[in-house]
Structure 1
């Protein structure tokens, strides 16, 4: 069974860019006084720092440090490409560039160490789910009904039986009428039951009954 080989344009472009940048970094390091194997170690150091910063950005939530070192490594690679494009006389490299090339190993080591020892920020753990949920009671008991106290109105007092009517003899009533008329003529006022009782010499209830009939 034969496999068809598929060429990824992006991968090919990355290989070409990496090879050219590797060559430019080697030429610049060699021109700055780093000969032999040291000139080949510089492009490897730059590329490794680029890869470490890129991986750190993909696996960490806090990418500020990774972006800083990625920009530094990219500036070193891009600077070598521009410097070897004819803008810099590689036969007479300036002193500041020699200093930068000589100090690059320590800078790359610092960046790689910080990226490797930066703790990963773990995502917040979700709250644990309860082991079991309380089942609803299929036959819940009804809630107790609060007792309501009803205040009863006081019962009315029983009515007392009316006093029996006192019978007044007609002769006594005629006599009492005469006494009352005489009292009114003499005093100008209606005779009261007490005075009528004293004049007739009868008990109080009988005098009250006679006074009621004379009214």
Structure 2
């Protein structure tokens, strides 16, 4: 299917405006003494500088250099349109107009060179981290929850001893019958020798028993 040519009103308007501006620049250069192909080269130079500055603004962002040469080319194009509208006598152009037309080639060459070869300091974009094939298939590791620590067993509260236990501790210790018989013999021997009853301290010393046991034996001998 053949491609259809779409007529754009904005594009048509741009072509008409460019053609008129091109003609005005040619007429102004011809009036300033630039005849032949030189008169046609002036509008090409102005339009190319304007396009180069605009392209620099669109591609690299706003900058003083691009805006400066864009305004210079716009002033040259706009000035030619105004000058050819009857404000100047093109049959006898002023000296400043001849000076501007004569110096334009050097000015346009300087602007084009700066726009084309000036360094643009753009912030480097950090490279994206390289992804490995394992990144797409690697599953995230499961999160292992820490096991709960066993709670400390409650301290056993010592209960108060039963009243029976208190009674048992207060009762006299049990004395073997053999020990009582031996103690009786010792007491009889002491009474025979001294004529008096044996005291608790002497009985404890003779038997070699603790004081509380000696008291219990003495109670049995009484």
Tell me, yes or no, whether TM beats 0.5.
Answer: yes
Q: Tell me if the contact between 1:45 and 1:108 (Cα under 8 Å) persists in the aligned partners.
A: yes
Q: Which residue of 2 aligns with 1:94?
A: 94
Q: Tell me if the contact between 2:56 and 2:115 (Cα under 8 Å) persists in the aligned partners.
A: yes
Distance 2:67 2:16 in 1: 24
- TM-score by length of structure 2 reads 0.60
Equivalent residue pairs, number: 180
Distance 1:172 1:132 in 2: 100
Among 186, 191, 201, the residue aligned to 1:194: 201
1:1-215 to structure 2, matched below 5 A, reads 6-58=6-58, 60-64=59-63, 65-118=65-118, 124=125, 125-133=127-135, 135-136=138-139, 165=176, 167-168=179-180, 172=184, 193-195=200-202, 202-205=206-209, 207-211=214-218, 213=220
- TM-score by length of structure 1 reads 0.61
Distance 1:2 1:27 in 2: 41
Q: Which residue of 1 aligns with 2:165?
A: none
- The 3-state SS of whatever aligns with 2:54 is helix
Unmatched runs of 5 consecutive residues or more in structure 2: 151-172
Alpha-carbon distance, 1:22 to partner: 1.2
Distance 1:76 1:204, change over 3 A: same
Q: Tell me if the contact between 1:194 and 1:204 (Cα under 8 Å) persists in the aligned partners.
A: no
Q: Tell me if the contact between 1:53 and 1:70 (Cα under 8 Å) persists in the aligned partners.
A: yes
Unmatched runs of 5 consecutive residues or more in structure 1: 149-161, 184-190
Alpha-carbon distance, 1:212 to partner: 5.2
Alpha-carbon distance, 1:114 to partner: 2.2
CA RMSD of aligned residues (A): 4.4
